[in-house]
Amino acid sequence: MKPFEPKLVYFEPNALDYPLGQQLKKRFENTDVEIRYTTSHNQVRNLPGDNDFQKYRVAKSTLVVGIRKTLKFDTSKPSAEYAIPFATGCMGHCHYCYLQTTMGSKPYIRTYVNVDEILTAADEYMAERAPEITRFEASCTSDIVGIDHITHTLKRAIEHFGQSEYGKLRFVTKFHHVDHLLDANHNGKTRFRFSVNADYVIKFFEPGTSRLKDRIAAAGKVARAGYPLGFIVAPIYLHDGWQQGYYEMFERLEAELPIEAKKDLTFEFIQHRFTKPAKRVIEKNYPMTKLELDEEKRRYKWGKYGIGKYVYKKEEEEDIKETLYQYMVKFFPEAKLEYFT
């Protein structure tokens, strides 16, 4: 799995007023990639492709360089107080990905070059809550590590929060391209998390992302660089032999991680869920998927804005929670489970 390189790049003309916009323009001018211009990162139209299926795939390998105009951050419970918006969209092709519904007709990847303004807005949020700690989640709308070898925005953010008194940064990734982040001056203020899963889930539902083995090796490097480390097991998905699949995942994590990585470790467990609109989009974008999306087999949970989601039935949910918790305690007795949802 090579680091992502876009096949098509768009620039908002105003993005070139920022140093990062200029840098990115130079970077891509030195490659064969096609460069186009767009008045707004929200208005990229006419992507190549004869039908929606092709256009969706082209979009996932298109990078749009723009300016983040809204500097009001969304909340990001339960893992943090706020979502910090450095990028939107992802090059991965996880069938279950919630971005398919939240991004609708704009599945291309957007990176924002007004990084100083975004960080200043974060400072204001921190000041409002001080002396309480404010946590910022950088992966609510993208897999930020997946493009950071191109932008180094995350690296700047890690160093910014490293210097802050009351701020903490967190993000999660399925990519192993972390080398440029290892020497960042993080001061222990960034929790670097990897998304992990049973082999079956990675094999059938996570194309276009790094293999588990590579994610674990990257987690080892990150831990040796002194970052607090975490794992998100998501989506926890029931399949034939799921207990064995998740047991082996924990066993491999334990066997392959260096000792440093086992200290100060957090886990987050998220069971698979889907909404009706998500089901429609998944079936359109990945028509051959084996992902089980049968409402009859699930429990309906009312959600915000009237859109409920389908989660596992109560007994299954309890079984998942207890089983994974036991595995975590067996292999990582000092780890902390932050939440199960």
Which residues of the shown chain bind ligand SF4 in the complex (CB under 6 A)? 90, 92, 94, 97, 99, 143, 174, 209
Nearer of residues 103 and 119 to ligand SF4, judged by Cβ: 103
Q: Pick between residue 126 and residue 148 the one whose CB is nearest to ligand SF4.
A: 148
Question: Cα–Cα distance between 309 and 33 in angstroms, integer?
Answer: 40
- Report the distance separating Cα 104 and Cα 107, nearest Å: 7
In which residue are the tokens 């002194």 written? 226
How far, CA to CA in Å, does 197 sit from each of 165, 187, 285, 333? 34, 29, 22, 19
Label each residue of 124-183 as H, E or C.
Answer: HHHHHHCCCCEEEECCCCECCHHHHHHHCHHHHHHHHHHHCCCEEEEEEECCCCCHHHCC
Going by C-alpha positions, the residue among 71, 48, 72 that lies closest to residue 59 is: 48
Nearer to ligand SF4 by Cβ, of 126 and 154: the residue is 154
Nearer to ligand SF4, 99 or 201 (CB): 99
Closest separation between CB of residue 63 and ligand SF4, Å? Answer: 14
Of residues 4 and 332, the one with the C-beta less far from ligand SF4: 4
Please tell me whether residue 327 adopts helix, strand or coil conformation: helix
Question: What is the nearest approach in angstroms of ligand SF4 to the Cβ of residue 234?
Answer: 8
